[in-house]
A and B are shown apart, each in its own frame.
Chain A
């Protein structure tokens, strides 16, 4: 007599240590093999897009802070870039340089959280503590700049809220000198750790063609071997002036496009960000950072789609202006939103424990998904 098997539905979350926020995954299982994953989101929905329609353009900036709360600077960067494109504002050179430096520091901080929590999901507790210790130093740099450690409201349409602190350049250089060797430390601790590789290599493999169709972006797309970075391929701000590499997944310990590749792309990107900061920090020109801030932000009638390479991927702002002081529509194309929608396709055929690894490797933030 043949044994009858049937599919089982298992809920993961909403409160689960590895779901990076409040997320419920409905797993359809056959034994321990995943047949389908249906994410249920919306637990953190704060109606940011609806709120924006009642705000002036400048008042939307603090709302963007609260989307991807691990990379607030970059959310600001994208939003003000979109409004400036619509209004055709040319910001001063000094502002551009400071924005790039802040953006890259933020990328490092965001990647440190991503790498740390990824290890944490898989049971490696120690690297997480090391990485958070280093992230703290970046937050200190932000604190001397604008007073805030997490939600900055630092980049304004046409300029910045504050100029940098007199100590900022010196402290940033100190940070770079301190931080470079710790990447080696991370590699010894976690990256090439045998247990870690066993858990992540050949898991959640996503070939390049599929990754494009799923809409993956940023490190997730590059992990699949697609050499595409908006900073180089669709350049914005002043990124075309700096010399840096685009790391891609090469399948060093497994297959191209597995969890380990996505992880290792982030490690390499941290080093590239350091290179950009090093080049930019010595070139900051003098100037007034609030000179070009318009008294009244009132863009012409029209639409704009502006995308930037946020730490988690392609962050796009679609703004519809009806010519008034309030935006008629702000739609945010959040990188995590699209990455999470792909998990059903990526986790198919793997085991329950691998879902945790795949989710961690996608580096999602629920604040950005639910907005």
Chain B
């Protein structure tokens, strides 16, 4: 099935939860969906006979870098608003088609439904996205930091992240 057909099929079943399809991109088209509907949509994508997306190739958090930045009096920059996104790359072993889903969430309270109960391989990818971007995956069985130390503060891959001066009382020399 082509991305357009998948989009139409999803639109039929989920209506307003499916936002748009972006196809004027250099590579694969992207379907945008609502962050708090992603679980039921994923369930449909995996279990529907026409789609059978049984393989989650990749799940990736992205900072869209669209926050409004204001410079404070002391020269520091603070950002407000903007979005964080999660990309899902799906693949079907039996039907051999692929699709990319994207869901964007508010940067201040980033919440996306977990899909770990549908594709187990999402488990660590979601932990990584939480670790690096602070995206809260609702209903995730074990949402902890994965690559950074458990007591690390801040989310390193956010565009407004600043390197800390100290870690556990030790000065970081750069």
Contact = CB atoms under 8 A, between A and B. Distances in A.
Given A88-B26, A213-B119, A329-B62, A42 B87 contact: no
A318 to B, nearest CB: 5
A300 B58 contact: no
A305 B26 contact: no
B148 A302 contact: no
Contacts of B65: 322, 328
Interface residues of B, number: 34
Interface string A155-181: 000000000000000000000000000
B156 A303 contact: no
Given A50-B157, A314-B57, A318-B87, A42 B120 contact: no
B57 A320 contact: no
A214 interface: yes
Given A50-B157, A228-B93, A305-B58, A41 B120 contact: no
A215 B63 contact: no
B15 to A, nearest CB: 26
Contact of A45 (B120, B125, B148): B148
Interface string B112-156: 000000011101110000001000000000000111110000001
Interface stretch (A64-72, A108-116, A334-342): A334-342
A85 interface: yes
B57 A316 contact: yes
A137 interface: no
B158 to A, nearest CB: 10
A210 B123 CA distance: 15
B25 interface: yes
A215 B89 contact: no
A315 to B, nearest CB: 10
Given A302-B26, A331-B60, A213 B89 contact: no
B57 A41 contact: no
A217 to B, nearest CB: 9
A302 B27 CA distance: 8
B58 A316 contact: yes
Most B C-beta atoms less than 10 A away, residue of A47, A49, A303: A303
27 contacts: A41-B147, A47-B156, A49-B157, A50-B157, A213-B54, A213-B120, A215-B56, A300-B26, A303-B27, A303-B87, A305-B28, A305-B58, A305-B89, A328-B65, A329-B60, A329-B63, A329-B157, A331-B61, A333-B57, A333-B58, A333-B60, A333-B125, A337-B124, A341-B120, A342-B121, A345-B120, A371-B147
Interface of B: 25-28, 30, 54-58, 60-63, 65, 87, 89, 93, 96, 100, 119-121, 123-125, 132, 145-149, 156-157
